[in-house]
Amino acid sequence: MKMMGRSRRALGLASAAALGVSGLVVMASPAAAAMHQCGDHIMMSETLSNNIGPCPASGPNQGAGLVIMGNNVVLNLGGHTITGGNTTNMSTQEQPGIVFMNATNSTVTNGAVRNFDAGVLVAGGTGNTVSQIRAYDNINHGILTGTINSCSLGDGIAVEGADNTQVKSNTTYHNGPYSGIALVDDADNNVVSGNNSYNQTVSNYNPAFVNPDNPEGNGPCGPFSATPEGIGRLHQDIGIRIEGPGANDNQVLNNQATSNQLNGIGIHGYVCGVFPGGPPPGTPNTGNLVQGNNVRANGFPDGLDGIGILSQGPLGTITCASNNNSIMGNTSTGNAGSGIYISRTGNNAITSSNTISGNVVNSNHVDGIRLQGPNTVCPLGQSGPNNTCNVPRETRNGANNNVISDNRGSGNTEHDGHDGNVNCDANVWSHNIFGTVNQACVKANGGTGTIKLPMF
């Protein structure tokens, strides 16, 4: 199973007090210029007239930089910067830079947010907009200081449980260990468009959490957090991620995703099978559209992919890739793994049913488009020494029931089109223009490609 990213523990639409935000409630006249300090609450439209911060982790002005509490508010940062204090933050409390707290139809625009646990957090609400924000160096302070906290944050811009949000024309870089932009929990009908998300390369590492017996990495944050679930993966930063679970009908359109550590764009999987005493099953992220994006040079150093429909979850669970999503009209080139990667379903009862159409996938270091095939796993608690299994291994299905049509690929190191299922299972490949493929069914139905066998 290709385990990627993490399933973070949700903030649960926390109250302002729980987020550590406090301060003056400002009720300004529309578009008035105003000075602010850390922790102020914004109730009406205004333009910021000063830089803010560094915001302390404790004291009367602790917590978030600014909190948008009102509806129909336009907060213009006036080109100013809001700065957190994460490099010295020893608090267990996580601090976002700007929080939409269950707001409706409100906007933040035209400024920079840095050095918080998240740059902008849209927590609940509907119809909000984040635009023309430069979110950088927002790193969960557990990474920086070794402080144990919930690790719910670690993104440039995070939309959590909010609907109909517009995240547009922003720049995010060097945030982590999670994402430049993330849609978390039940975040539906959001549009992420025209953003530039690059160099999300913050490793999940702090010497305080070193565990030489853990090959996946050492760190305080998920997917296997520093809890009974285990210690987190070292590299998990994604440019733009639809994490969910249950994030449906979102659109990721016309973005740049370049040189991010794990993937350029990722749609997370979910827990689809449980064992006694394990975590409850989740829900897939369905109906999402990833279209018109330029995805380049992602996945180093771990050999991962440009665009991925992923499978991930806590240890000791069966995980499945999300289904009924569309990846259309993107360009994915020069990535360390494949240009587009569809993970196996992980459960015999689950199908993928995704559409991959009209993409250009050139010069990737593995395949242009790769559908993962089936594998066998040892049931939980039945592993023996030296990778043996005390009972017969169970089969996990490959990615199946997908439609892969009208794509073009050339110059990929292994294959331009690759299906890991025998005779492509129920996947339909049609009208793809490839130079090389791994089996005849990948070039069927009007497609092209020379069958290139693996070298041993």
- Other CB atoms within a 10 A radius of the CB of residue 212 amount to 6
Alpha-carbon gap, residue 298 to 197, rounded angstroms: 11
Averaged pLDDT of the chain: 86
- Count CA atoms within 13 Å of residue 147 on its CB side: 20
Query: In this predicted structure, what is the pLDDT of residue 31?
Result: 58
Q: Which amino acid is at 230?
A: G
Q: What b-and-e string marks burial along 319-353, b requiring 16 or more CB atoms within 10 Å of the CB?
A: bbbbbbbbbbbbbbbbbbbbbbbbbbbbbeebbbb
What class is the 25-451 domain? mainly beta
Alpha-carbon gap, residue 393 to 239, rounded angstroms: 36
CA 132-190-201 angle, to 5 degrees, is: 60
Alpha-carbon gap, residue 346 to 317, rounded angstroms: 10
Cα pseudo-dihedral 76, 80, 86, 89, rounded to 10: -90
Query: In this predicted structure, what is the pLDDT of residue 268?
Result: 94
Collect all residues with Cβ–Cβ distance below 8 Å to 148 and sequence separation of at least 6: 92, 142, 220, 226
- Count CA atoms within 13 Å of residue 245 on its CB side: 20
Query: In this predicted structure, what is the pLDDT of residue 150?
Result: 83
Please give the structure tokens belonging to residue 284: 């897939």
Query: In this predicted structure, what is the pLDDT of residue 219?
Result: 66
358: three-class secondary structure by DSSP: coil
Condensed to tens digits (0 to 9), the pLDDT of residues 200-236 reads: 999 887 766 655 555 444 567 754 444 444 456 778 8
Alpha-carbon gap, residue 109 to 128, rounded angstroms: 11
Alpha-carbon gap, residue 302 to 308, rounded angstroms: 14
Q: What b-and-e string marks burial along 230-254, b requiring 16 or more CB atoms within 10 Å of the CB?
A: bbbbbbbbbbbbbbbbbbbebbbbb
For residue 375, count CB atoms less than 10 angstroms from its CB and return exposed for 0-12, middle for 13-18, buried for 19 or more. middle
For residue 414, count CB atoms less than 10 angstroms from its CB and return exposed for 0-12, middle for 13-18, buried for 19 or more. middle
Query: In this predicted structure, what is the pLDDT of residue 227?
Result: 42
Residue (of 250, 95, 84) closest to 161 by Cα position: 250
Give 5's DSSP letter. Answer: S
Chain-centroid distance of CA 268 in Å reads 7
Say whether pTM exceeds 0.85.
yes
Condensed to tens digits (0 to 9), the pLDDT of residues 47-89 reads: 999 999 999 876 655 678 999 998 999 999 999 999 999 988 8
Alpha-carbon gap, residue 276 to 300, rounded angstroms: 37
Give the residues of the chain that fall short of pLDDT 70.
1-31, 58-62, 207-219, 222-232, 274-279, 312-316, 380-381, 454-456
Cα pseudo-dihedral 238, 221, 100, 325, rounded to 10: 40
